Amino acid sequence: MNEPISQTEPSWPFPRWWAAFVIALVAVTWKLWFAWSATAYPTVALFGPETSVPSFVGIAASVVLVGSLIGIVVSPRKLRSLWWLVLTALVISFVTDQHRLQPWAYQTAIYAIVFATLERRFAYRFLVLIASSVYIYSALGKIDYQFLHTVGQDFLGVLATPLGGFPDDWELAARAKIAILFPVTELLLGFALLFPFTCRIAAVGVMGMHIALLVILGPWGLNHSTGVLAWNLCLLVQAYLLFFQHPNISLSSPAAEPDKGLLWLNATLTACVMLAPLLERSSYWDHWLSWSLYSPHTSRLELAVHESAIGQLGPEIQPHVEPDTDGDRWHRLALDRWSLTDRGVPLYPQARYQLGLAVKMASRDGLSDDIRGRLRSVSNRWTGKRTEQPLLGLKELRDQANSYWLWWR
């Protein structure tokens, strides 16, 4: 059996570089990985809100994750075992807390299998397919009414600000036609990355796209979280090392054929990664795991608490109780702001997770009939409309949360 790519060909910097960036990503999102207490912001296990996992299990997995990544960066030996440890630590992290299913963490779990099983000549072929699919599905998720009329407009607004903004007589429909250039460009670049004769040109385009995103999403623009910016920087460097430098990787260099079982393993893994996002719109595969990035079409829960019960809420969520704007004495809970404040990352964009979070919070704070939710489906790609389901009280929230099997409806 062949040694892993990093051990047989240590001159290829990509696996070690990827490990270094993941260390940086864990560091800037440390509240997500090293929260010693789950009492402030509850953890929601992958098996549902009724599952209780001691917090030290997730902490131990995070320690193993960081230790293994450091070992990959600094040591030229035993890299196969270290990548398997990375994968194991990530799987445990995902199972104990769904919120840790960050897109970059999921991507790292996939890469870990490839790094651990194949030398670079064969690994490169699978990595190209996986990395290209991120852009293809990300673009398809943005060819959507919601993106074109909301987030796409925010992107355009940042870019148009130095030019004085949009003319006053430009209607939203006209600006939406311009916003579609974002996903169309990304889609074309994603497909171009797949072919050797367009790969390097597309890599330059992808690097330019990530530079533009850093400007749009940075503190001088929409001021997104540090983790979002760090992952964009990570993907920018990936575009250079994996796609722009690809002629420097000799795909015909002599190397022993890998075990056919390992090739089948990676082929199956790659096929699953590339096909599973097709199930995203039907809610059988998660939005982030389908590379639905910056696209607001995702399923969600709108949560509110009656004013008589606000005093029962924990002190960490009280700042995220919004004013009663319609006089019905119900106050919206801004779960998205709570996540950014207490976890340092965006709220996991999945109704299943948000239901679990609401149930754990309400159970902890003794809420019952004084909490309510509105479950909103994935929006229609062409009209932006959603179906809605009211949920009154903790019992209905819990019953809805328990209707999921693992993470599928």
**Whether residue 347 is found in the same domain as residue 226:** no
**Whether residue 284 is found in the same domain as residue 330:** no
**Whether residue 223 is found in the same domain as residue 338:** no
**Whether residue 107 is found in the same domain as residue 65:** yes
Residue 33 lies in a domain: yes
Instruction: From 290, 313, 329, give the residue that closes a domain.
Output: 290
Residue 359 lies in a domain: yes
CB environment 366-386: b (16+ within 10 A), e (fewer)? ebeebbbbebbbbbeeeebeb
Structural domain range at position 240: 5-143+180-290
Residue 163 lies in a domain: no
On the question of pLDDT at 160 being above 80, the answer is: yes
**Whether residue 80 is found in the same domain as residue 206:** yes
Q: CB of 160 within 8 A of CB of 166?
A: yes
Residue 159 lies in a domain: no
Residue with tokens 């090739």: 263
Q: How many domains does the chain have?
A: 2
Q: What is the DSSP letter of 157?
A: H
**Whether residue 278 is found in the same domain as residue 136:** yes
**Whether residue 379 is found in the same domain as residue 263:** no
Instruction: From 232, 255, 290, give the residue that closes a domain.
Output: 290
Instruction: From 256, 290, 324, give the residue that closes a domain.
Output: 290
Helix axes 120-142, 260-275, angle to 10 degrees: 10
> How big is the chain by its Cα radius of gyration, in Å?
22
Taking the complete model, does pTM exceed 0.85, yes or no? yes
**Whether residue 251 is found in the same domain as residue 377:** no
On the question of pLDDT at 79 being above 90, the answer is: no
On the question of pLDDT at 21 being above 90, the answer is: yes
Q: How far apart are CA 290 and CA 47, in angstroms?
A: 20
Q: What is the DSSP letter of 298?
A: S
For 324, half-sphere exposure in the C-beta direction (CA atoms, 13 angstrom radius) is 11
**Whether residue 307 is found in the same domain as residue 275:** no
Q: CB of 105 within 8 A of CB of 93?
A: yes
Give residue-wise pLDDT tens across range 318-362: 999 999 989 999 999 999 999 999 999 999 999 999 999 999 999
Q: How far apart are CA 321 and CA 337, in angstroms?
A: 10
Residue 94 lies in a domain: yes
pLDDT band with cut points at 50, 70 and 90 for residue 7: very low
Higher confidence at residue 5 or residue 274? 274
**Whether residue 95 is found in the same domain as residue 129:** yes
Give residue-wise pLDDT tens across range 289-308: 999 999 999 999 999 999 99
Residue 326 lies in a domain: yes
**Whether residue 310 is found in the same domain as residue 279:** no
Residue 166 lies in a domain: no
For 311, half-sphere exposure in the C-beta direction (CA atoms, 13 angstrom radius) is 1
On the question of pLDDT at 250 being above 70, the answer is: no
On the question of pLDDT at 203 being above 70, the answer is: yes
Q: Calculate mean pLDDT across residues 377-398.
A: 96
Residue 150 lies in a domain: no
**Whether residue 14 is found in the same domain as residue 77:** yes
Q: How far is CA 215 from CA 23, 158, 182, 263, 381, in A?
A: 23, 8, 14, 40, 27
Which two three-digit tokens encode residue 89?
Answer: 């630590």
